Structure 1
Amino acid sequence: MGFKDLKKRFTSSSHDLDQARLQERFCEIDVVSICEAAPRQPVRICGEVVAIQIVPRAGSPSLEVTVGDGTAKAVAVFTGRRRIAGLQPGRGVVLEGVGGKVGNHLQLLNPAYTLLG
């Protein structure tokens, strides 16, 4: 580690360092960054699970998984699910589906997913 890297680590905020770590973690996977994903188009994004919550929708549970890749965050909604085995905060995941803009973030409804090690 050079002096410039050490100086950058001490002068950057923890948020900036975390964003850089996420971008480096997923740079080798052939995906589109979340901030570049176009709404209403098939997308393949990758990121780290940031949060998981169960939200009732039309009388049945929906699992909402927030994923971040260092550029933005997206929400994957799995209808009728309370949990997905292996999906937990900190885990890497690839999501494939058609995205839509909800508020200021990308949302994918029932996307195909691949868990990363």
Structure 2
Amino acid sequence: MSSTDERTGLRKFFDRLTATDSELDARDLQREVAKCGAMPAGQCSRGQVVSVNGRLRTVAYTPRTNLPTLEADLWDGSDVVTLVFLGRRSIAGIEPGRQLTARGRIAIRDDRKVIYNPYYELEAPR
């Protein structure tokens, strides 16, 4: 092993040792995104049809006067994409902490990335 490889290995070790739990979680999620071939949310832009993978942080039912919506924030370690299910009050399996892959076209609402009525696949609970 060369001295450069040793230094790189030590740097990674100390980075991991000094990282916070949320930083480690973000790194793990980003590795999962790379493994499944999804696009990192941080790289998604308006109008793109994307496949994103991550963990649901929050799920909220938002009663609207004309159309109820269920909104779920999907976090992949780089950014958040809000999944908006129009006309739904709840969906079995869509709950905080659940890992999933969602596909759809990125829109921007209130400076946030959203996908309306995405196609989604739930991953088995760990």
Deviant stretches of 4+, over 6 Å: none
Greater per-residue strand proportion: 1
Is residue 2:45 matched to residue 1:41?
A: no
Q: Deviations over 1:64-107 (max 9, x none)?
A: 01000011001000011111111221111111111111233210
Determine the structure 2 residue equivalent to 1:108: 115
Greater per-residue helix proportion: 2
| Structure 1 vs Structure 2 CA RMSD | 1.8
TM-score (norm 1): 0.87
Is residue 2:15 matched to residue 1:8?
A: yes
Determine the structure 2 residue equivalent to 1:25: 32
Q: Deviations over 1:22-54 (max 9, x none)?
A: 112232112111111121121111111111001
Deviation of 1:6 after TM superposition, in Å, equals 5.0
TM-score (norm 2): 0.81
Query: For 1:85-96, what aligned pairs fall within 5 Å after superposition?
Result: 85-96=92-103
Is residue 2:79 matched to residue 1:72?
A: yes
Larger mean CA deviation between 93-102 and 70-79 belongs to 93-102
Aligned pairs, number: 116
Mark the runs of 5 or more structure 2 residues left unpaired by the alignment.
1-8
